């Protein structure tokens, strides 16, 4: 470890900062928060106080944070449409960026982020916390060791029965979120599969989206519905279910399904990969992580006994700190973000047109 402390400004002090990012700062002695910013100043102040700071380092306007001398990085935890705007402004000032998912709300915005990162030579990393689950890390190594053979197809989903986040607020307002569960949850599981498959390039998407629960009064049954502030009589112009199919340049395919609300038994998320030597699946419905293979003419199931994942969001931030402080090779590069948003944008386009869209 180097001796210099990393100076970081936090932009957006809402649910995900207080629910997850905060632990990365509490537990890392090599990083120092020098600013807390929220457009609602009281949220910046209450967050600062939790970490033992006072209002003297709290800001309402993110541009003031970007002007702080010696600032090394910002951690962007704002609504989706602001990710690219703040990230590009920071990179243009030579400030490294860690940003929450989804990368951006359109391909052109994601491309601006990649361009700004390349031009500045600074690090742009977007949250990919699911790569840091214990089962994900185990599988990545298993696949890299060649034990699954050629992976040619995958399925993934995050389905909720009733779990619309911040109904009526920014989450359900397309101009601020970019979309519903596809952009919100899809990024997590699609990225995880693509990363495990070795980052093939997406070439076409077919999808359908539905909005059926905008007027439902039924109580949420998902802890994740607590994200974002709900707004009575607010906007709901995004989907609540997306179904789709993605094709990749190497012939791989992926089936996807994401819902914030649908009439299914209960919330769960899963990934399933199929390779020529083995398949694998992880399903939160029954906390099962299994590998399916064969030995001596007999099919065999393996069940790795892994401990619970230890703060995947925190681990992702620790990796970002490690890249900046110790020159570690980043395990996320901006082109992965652009490719991700290409999939999402093509899926929305396909749903609108009712046909497959080429990327
Ligand atoms: N990785 C994950 O598991 C995960 C989970 C939840 C949310 N998220 C992502 O985190 C981001 C924030 O989500 P959240 O649930 O914390 O939402 P939130 O609404 O609770 O928090 C967002 C905060 O940003 C503030 N804000 C809005 N405009 C601002 C501006 N111009 N300048 C500074 N602050 C501003 C809001 O006042 C609010 O406090 C979203 O992009 C979301 O997709 C990621």
Backbone angles phi, psi at 195, to 5 degrees: -60, -45
- Ligand 1 centroid to Cα of residue 337, in Å, is 18
325 and 296 in one domain?
no
* Domain annotation covers residue 328: yes
272 and 144 in one domain?
yes
Q: Which of 78, 131, 183, 225 to mutate to test the pocket of ligand 1 (most atoms within 8 A of CB)?
A: 78
Q: Which of 208, 213, 233, 196 is closest to 160 using CA atoms?
A: 213
125 and 11 in one domain?
yes
Does ligand 1 come within 6 angstroms of the Cβ of 129?
Answer: yes
CA distance 43 to 55: 11
Q: 308 exposed, middle or buried (CB, 10 Å; 0-12, 13-18, 19+)?
A: exposed
Domain that holds residue 59: 6-129+313-332
* Domain annotation covers residue 119: yes
- Ligand 1 centroid to Cα of residue 11, in Å, is 9
75 and 105 in one domain?
yes
Query: What local confidence, expressed as pLDDT, does residue 3 receive?
Result: 66
CATH number of the domain at 38, please.
Answer: 3.40.50.720
141 and 113 in one domain?
no
261 and 145 in one domain?
yes
Q: Give percent above pLDDT 90 in the chain.
A: 93
- Ligand 1 centroid to Cα of residue 82, in Å, is 9
Does ligand 1 come within 6 angstroms of the Cβ of 234?
Answer: no
154 and 106 in one domain?
no
- Ligand 1 centroid to Cα of residue 148, in Å, is 37
3-state helix, strand, coil in the chain (%, to 5): 35, 25, 40
Only one residue has tokens 């989907």, namely 239
* Domain annotation covers residue 1: no
178 and 326 in one domain?
no
* Domain annotation covers residue 281: yes
Does ligand 1 come within 6 angstroms of the Cβ of 131?
Answer: no
- Ligand 1 centroid to Cα of residue 104, in Å, is 13
210 and 83 in one domain?
no
180 and 71 in one domain?
no
Does ligand 1 come within 6 angstroms of the Cβ of 127?
Answer: yes
Does ligand 1 come within 6 angstroms of the Cβ of 38?
Answer: yes
> CA torsion sign, 179 to 17 to 190 to 159?
negative
Does ligand 1 come within 6 angstroms of the Cβ of 12?
Answer: yes
Does ligand 1 come within 6 angstroms of the Cβ of 101?
Answer: yes
CA distance 313 to 299: 36
Over residues 229-255, the pLDDT tens digits come to: 999 999 999 999 999 999 999 999 999
pLDDT values of the chain reduced to their tens digit, one per residue, 359 residues: 446 899 999 999 999 999 999 999 998 999 999 999 999 999 999 999 999 999 999 999 999 999 999 999 999 999 999 999 999 999 999 999 999 999 999 999 999 999 999 999 999 999 999 999 999 999 999 999 999 999 999 999 999 999 999 999 999 999 999 999 999 999 999 999 999 999 999 999 999 999 999 988 888 988 888 889 999 999 999 999 999 999 999 999 999 999 999 999 999 999 999 999 999 999 999 999 999 999 999 999 999 999 988 899 999 999 999 999 999 999 999 999 999 999 999 999 999 999 999 99
- Angle value at C-alpha 111, between 21 and 12, nearest 5 degrees: 25
* Domain annotation covers residue 79: yes
CA distance 346 to 126: 20
Does ligand 1 come within 6 angstroms of the Cβ of 16?
Answer: yes
CA distance 187 to 170: 18
Does ligand 1 come within 6 angstroms of the Cβ of 78?
Answer: yes
> CA torsion sign, 192 to 187 to 7 to 52?
negative
* Domain annotation covers residue 220: yes
Does ligand 1 come within 6 angstroms of the Cβ of 39?
Answer: yes
Query: What local confidence, expressed as pLDDT, does residue 336 receive?
Result: 97
Count the neighbouring beta carbons within 10 Å of the beta carbon of residue 108: 12
Looking at the 3D structure of the chain, how many domains does it have?
Answer: 2
- Ligand 1 centroid to Cα of residue 15, in Å, is 6
Which residue lies with its CA nearest to atom 19 of ligand 1?
228
223 and 288 in one domain?
yes
CATH number of the domain at 289, please.
Answer: 3.30.360.10
Q: Which of 206, 207, 201, 205 is closest to 248 using CA atoms?
A: 201
* Domain annotation covers residue 137: yes
CA distance 59 to 39: 8
153 and 33 in one domain?
no
Q: Which of 47, 27, 108, 95 is closest to 314 using CA atoms?
A: 27
Query: What local confidence, expressed as pLDDT, does residue 1 receive?
Result: 47
- Ligand 1 centroid to Cα of residue 78, in Å, is 4
Query: What local confidence, expressed as pLDDT, does residue 261 receive?
Result: 97
């Amino acid at each position: 470890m180097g001796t210099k402390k990393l100076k970081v400004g936090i932009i957006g002090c809402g649910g995900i900062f207080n629910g997850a990012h905060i632990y990365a700062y509490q537990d890392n002695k090599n990083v120092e928060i020098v600013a807390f910013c929220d457009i609602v100043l009281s949220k910046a102040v209450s967050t600062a106080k939790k970490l033992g700071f006072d209002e003297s380092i709290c800001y309402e306007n993110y541009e003031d944070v970007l002007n702080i001398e010696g600032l090394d990085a910002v951690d962007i935890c704002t609504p989706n449409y602001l990710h690219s705007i703040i990230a590009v402004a920071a990179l243009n000032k030579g400030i490294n960026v860690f940003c929450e998912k989804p990368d951006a709300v359109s391909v052109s915005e994601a491309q601006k982020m990649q361009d700004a990162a390349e031009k500045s030579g600074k690090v742009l990393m977007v949250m990919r916390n699911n790569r840091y689950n214990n089962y994900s890390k185990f599988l990545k190594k298993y696949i890299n060791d060649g034990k699954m053979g050629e992976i040619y197809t995958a399925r993934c989903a995050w389905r909720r029965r009733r779990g619309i986040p911040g109904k009526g607020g920014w989450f359900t307002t397309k101009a601020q979120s970019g979309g519903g569960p596809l952009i919100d949850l899809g990024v997590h599981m699609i990225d995880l599969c693509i990363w495990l498959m070795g980052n093939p390039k997406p070439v076409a998407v077919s999808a359908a989206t539905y909005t059926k629960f905008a007027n439902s009064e039924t109580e949420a049954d998902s802890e994740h519905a607590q994200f974002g502030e709900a707004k009575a009589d607010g906007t709901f112009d995004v989907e609540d279910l997306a179904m789709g199919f993605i094709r990749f340049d190497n012939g791989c395919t992926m089936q996807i399904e994401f819902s914030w609300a649908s009439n299914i038994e209960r919330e769960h998320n899963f990934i399933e990969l199929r390779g020529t030597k083995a398949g694998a699946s992880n399903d939160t419905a029954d906390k099962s992580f299994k590998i399916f293979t064969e030995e001596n003419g007999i099919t065999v199931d393996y069940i790795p006994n892994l401990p619970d994942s230890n703060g995947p969001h925190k681990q992702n931030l620790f990796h970002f700190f490690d890249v900046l402080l110790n020159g570690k090779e980043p395990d996320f590069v901006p082109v992965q973000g652009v490719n991700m948003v290409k999939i999402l944008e093509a899926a929305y386009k396909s749903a609108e047109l009712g046909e497959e869209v080429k990327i």
